[in-house]
Structure 1
Amino acid sequence: MNKKKILITGASGFIGSTAVEKALASGYETWAGVRAGSNKAYLQDERIHFIDLSYANKDKLVKQLQSFAAQYGRFDYIVHTAGITKALHKSDFERVNYLYTKNFVDALVETRNIPDSFIFISSLSAYGAGDEKGYTPISTHQTPHPNTAYGRSKLLAENYIKSLPDFPYVILRPTGVYGPRDKDYLILMRSVKKGIAVGAGFKKQLLTFIYVEDLVKVIFECIEKGIRRKEYIVADGDYYSDDEFNKLVQQALGKKHVLRIKVPLWIVKPAAFINEKIAAIVGKPTTFNTDKYPIMKQRNWLCDVTPLQYDLGFRPDYCLKEGIEKTVQWYKENGWL
């Protein structure tokens, strides 16, 4: 019996590489979509097949898919994690996260290589700010109003995919994804290790998280249960204040004393602007920028995961405490902390 073929785009990234490991463990013929020159440090398994798709050029992409299908047949499943979360220019978000995705799905349709399932990894940022008065959870029934270029680019891609008749999409909107190989939360953990926990703003902030392996579990449960034309928010179902999160990091690091500093938002905003300008001069995108500021400012990240629980019976394997401990251990073992 031939193995089912799965393509995971953005496979050299944090989420993508974790999905590749799960695909291999699950017995799929696993294709890793990576750009030429991408770091393949986490893609060393000899069973991995590689493909470099030209998302920027739809005509070339069509030819690539036709050639692939003629030789191997179509992909049975596609997990589209490719995209960017930081950029030197805000226009890059729309180009990479929306236009490249549009080119890809258009090429799949044109070449009649539509998979049985197309999992699109979006973001909770596609919704924009939640209710910061009553702190009601963000749900899939709400009309999105993204307030960042990143969120808008993800929503554009979502809406285009949903507009295609009978296209077998599943849209996943994870909240803060953390775990081994992630570099965003690493910055915060390094600060705590140095004895400083920094928070933005004084008003109550409620945070939600999903451990990367739990997100990947959701991806494959959607595939294996044949979910089609659905969208889900993905989180572990709990919520935390920023102080509670920092305390868990402090415990995992074994730090007895940490200075907790709250920085007023009126200081954070110009600091983000200055940091972004420095990054532009240096020519290297930074995580702390003006597009990230609305995310740091946002007070309510509560989200409704009952559809995920109802349709998939989803229960996370990792609570935040366990996930942070495992993440910190990996960071230490790999010399990141």
Structure 2
Amino acid sequence: MQKKILITGASGFIGSTVVDKALELGYETWAGVRTSSSREYLTDPRIRFIDLTYSDKEKLTEQLRLFARDNGRFDAIVHIAGMTKALHKADFDRVNDGYTRHLADALIETGTVPDSFIFMSSLSAIGKGDEENYAPLRAEQEPNPTTAYGRSKLKAENYLKSLPGFPYVILRPTGVYGPRDKDYYILVKSVKNGLNVGAGMKRQLLTFIYSEDLARVIFLCIEKQVKRVEYIVADGDVYTDEEFNRIVQEVLHKKRVLRLKIPLGVVKGAAWVSEKVASLLGRASTFNTDKYNIMEQRNWNCDIEPIRTGLSFKPEYPLRRGVEETVRWYKEKGWL
């Protein structure tokens, strides 16, 4: 019998990639999207759509009850929907923590808890690591997030852990890149235009995971039926910021790029100004003080031994291959 999967936040970069993978693997695929959301990457006729009201637990509970009556429960849920930038920092808690609580509670109240509930958290939920010896971040270490975004994700994680027997898997991916992504696109476009800007003078270690590999990790968790665990997700390699930028430059065949290193103090001031201007205009800014706290972190080195051994995960896209695929997609779509 075909298994049903719900993917929340399906219109986004990661969500739409997971939808593609679910279809490839033969799932009855339900895309959780708002009516107003773009469906640019959700055009496959096999996709089924559902608009769930996460902000109102009573309405959400009734929606899930009616869905189960007509269709049966979901076998797996991948909860990706969330907020990565906000006009007010309290909105991170309201959406990333609050909506997750509502969804979990509604599933319990309706008796429709799935076999697998994959929660897409973030490496930011752990916070800063060792910036002297650059020891890798580990899933079991005591979290100490430095951003409102990271704290909201950690609150949601802790709530899921508090629910007896709830079949959560918490994934904390490092920097996710790939086709459809707009964040790394800004950097790639800047390099193509001959400019490469870095924040801070101290050495920075970076880690990455290609979107297709992240989707594979999700389905390995579902298919291996792992429960009540948390994993850091990365491809296993570590790069300095200079090495990463050099790979982007080489893939773009850009011989000369002006490299600027901006002191963190200057970056912090610019982030504060950007946030204040955006607030006056009544909109959320991508470059803000919360983002600065991520940019100043020097050590994103990760221990991924648990997904290597527990899930038998081996990345198919090391960084250079992933960047090549991503740049190819940007060019095909006319972004570059």
**Smaller-chain TM-score bracket:** over 0.9
**What is the identity, as a one-letter code, of the residue corresponding to 2:63?**
Q
Q: CA deviation at 1:23?
A: 0.4
Give the corresponding residue for 2:184.
185
* Structure 1, unpaired ranges of 5+: none
Q: CA deviation at 1:89?
A: 1.0
Any conservation in 2 of the 1:11–1:34 contact (CA below 8 Å)? yes
Q: CA deviation at 1:238?
A: 0.4
Q: CA deviation at 1:159?
A: 0.3
Aligned equivalents of 2:155 and 2:12: distance in 1? 22
Q: CA deviation at 1:120?
A: 0.3
Residues 14-33 of structure 1 mapped to structure 2, 5 A cutoff: 14-33=13-32
**What is the identity, as a one-letter code, of the residue corresponding to 1:270?**
G
1:170 aligns with 2:169: yes
Give the corresponding residue for 2:99.
100
Give the corresponding residue for 2:298.
299
Q: CA deviation at 1:280?
A: 1.9
Give the corresponding residue for 1:264.
263
Aligned equivalents of 1:324 and 1:277: distance in 2? 34
String of CA shifts for 1:274-295, please: whole Å, max 9, x gaps: 1112222333322211001111
Give the corresponding residue for 1:7.
6
Per the normalisation by structure 1, the TM-score is 0.99
1:238 aligns with 2:237: yes
Give the corresponding residue for 2:48.
49
**What is the identity, as a one-letter code, of the residue corresponding to 2:140?**
H
Give the corresponding residue for 1:224.
223
Give the corresponding residue for 2:66.
67
**What is the identity, as a one-letter code, of the residue corresponding to 2:120?**
I
**What is the identity, as a one-letter code, of the residue corresponding to 1:129?**
K
Give the corresponding residue for 1:142.
141
SS at match of 2:197: strand
**What is the identity, as a one-letter code, of the residue corresponding to 1:152?**
R
Any conservation in 2 of the 1:126–1:154 contact (CA below 8 Å)? yes
Residues 181-220 of structure 1 mapped to structure 2, 5 A cutoff: 181-220=180-219
String of CA shifts for 1:30-75, please: whole Å, max 9, x gaps: 0000011100000000100000000000000010001000000000
Q: CA deviation at 1:141?
A: 1.8
Aligned equivalents of 2:321 and 2:180: distance in 1? 16
String of CA shifts for 1:73-124, please: whole Å, max 9, x gaps: 0000000000011111111110110000000000000000000000000000
Aligned equivalents of 2:177 and 2:282: distance in 1? 26
Per the normalisation by structure 2, the TM-score is 0.99
* Structure 2, unpaired ranges of 5+: none
Give the corresponding residue for 2:321.
322
Give the corresponding residue for 2:152.
153
Any conservation in 2 of the 1:7–1:30 contact (CA below 8 Å)? yes
Any conservation in 2 of the 1:184–1:287 contact (CA below 8 Å)? no
String of CA shifts for 1:233-290, please: whole Å, max 9, x gaps: 0000001011111111111111110011000001000100111122223333222110
Q: Percent identity?
A: 66
SS at match of 1:292: helix
SS at match of 2:166: coil
Aligned equivalents of 1:84 and 1:182: distance in 2? 15
Show structure 1 runs of 4+ deviating over 6 A: none
SS at match of 1:120: strand
Aligned equivalents of 1:202 and 1:5: distance in 2? 49
Give the corresponding residue for 1:88.
87
Aligned equivalents of 1:259 and 1:92: distance in 2? 38
Q: Which moved more, 1:49-58 or 1:248-257?
A: 248-257
Aligned equivalents of 1:14 and 1:286: distance in 2? 19
Aligned equivalents of 2:48 and 2:158: distance in 1? 31
Q: How many pairs align?
A: 336
Q: CA deviation at 1:161?
A: 0.3
Aligned equivalents of 1:335 and 1:18: distance in 2? 20
String of CA shifts for 1:136-157, please: whole Å, max 9, x gaps: 1000121000000000000000
SS at match of 1:294: helix
Aligned equivalents of 2:200 and 2:297: distance in 1? 9
Q: CA RMSD in A?
A: 0.7
Aligned equivalents of 1:315 and 1:95: distance in 2? 36
